[in-house]
A and B are shown apart, each in its own frame.
Chain A
Amino acid sequence: AQKVTQAQTEISVVEKEDVTLDCVYETRDTTYYLFWYKQPPSGELVFLIRRNSFDEQNEISGRYSWNFQKSTSSFNFTITASQVVDSAVYFCALSEARSSYKLIFGSGTRLLVRP
């Protein structure tokens, strides 16, 4: 069965620290997609990144970077030099062909960046 685990419920860091949010997934499908979404206090889910199961290249976008490792079924998200505006709940999600590509979300990690 498909499953996404975000073991870190809450992380608190001081501004400018680097922080890594962990995501571990389970799937039996060979074709699947992984996502990260940000949910600020306003409540709207903001898309950050999508990766497919055939592309294990790590990606960097500004202060954000993602490490996808199929060998450990992990898709971790790192924020470099964190800022107060990064404070939000971050969700990792999985979609797979056998489930009509619906998103299966983890329980989220609440990140608090203190000034």
Chain B
Amino acid sequence: EAGVAQSPRYKIIEKRQSVAFWCNPISGHATLYWYQQILGQGPKLLIQFQNNGVVDDSQLPKDRFSAERLKGVDSTLKIQPAKLEDSAVYLCASSPTGTGGFNTQYFGPGTRLTVL
């Protein structure tokens, strides 16, 4: 079974530029998550989708970050405009049906963003 796919793996941009990350979850997984992991810290949830609806985006900086999950499969996370403090690894995860805690989240390899 294929795991969670993410692209690109690395991205370097100047501040105030925009950037987009793509995630393809494990086939059949209804729930998709985007996490931000700053160097030396644990991942922090940005947004959680159940199919193509948003379950939790309370920690998403909505003035600059946006995310969508069209057709309930792939998802895109965008930052516009980027700030220096956005430098981090952006992790995508997916889990099977529902949002119950019994659903283990499986992570992709992440996208390492550097903002100069």
List A residues at the B interface (Cβ < 8 Å). Answer: 4, 31-33, 35, 37, 42-47, 50, 52, 91, 93, 95-97, 99-103, 105-108
The contact size tier of chain B is 20 to 34
30 contacts between A and B (CB under 8 A): A4-B42, A32-B101, A33-B102, A37-B107, A42-B109, A43-B89, A43-B112, A44-B107, A44-B110, A45-B91, A45-B93, A47-B104, A47-B105, A47-B107, A50-B102, A52-B101, A91-B42, A96-B101, A97-B101, A100-B55, A101-B103, A102-B45, A102-B48, A102-B56, A103-B35, A103-B43, A103-B105, A105-B44, A107-B40, A108-B41
Q: A93-B42, A105-B43, A107-B41 are in contact. Are A31 and B101 (CB under 8 A)?
A: yes
List B residues at the A interface (Cβ < 8 Å). Answer: 33, 35, 40-45, 48, 55-56, 89, 91, 93, 99-110, 112
Q: How far is the CA of A46 from the CA of B35 in the complex (A)?
A: 15
A101: contacting residue among B43, B93, B101, B110, CB under 8 A: B101
Q: How far is the CA of A100 from the CA of B50 in the complex (A)?
A: 11
Q: How far is the CA of A35 from the CA of B108 in the complex (A)?
A: 17
Q: A31-B101, A96-B101, A101-B101 are in contact. Are A43 and B110 (CB under 8 A)?
A: yes
Residues of A within 8 Å of B110, CB to CB, are 43-44
Chain B, Cβ-Cβ closest to A108: B42
Chain B, Cβ-Cβ closest to A9: B40
Q: How far is the CA of A101 from the CA of B102 in the complex (A)?
A: 9
A4 to chain B minimum Cβ distance, whole angstroms, is: 8
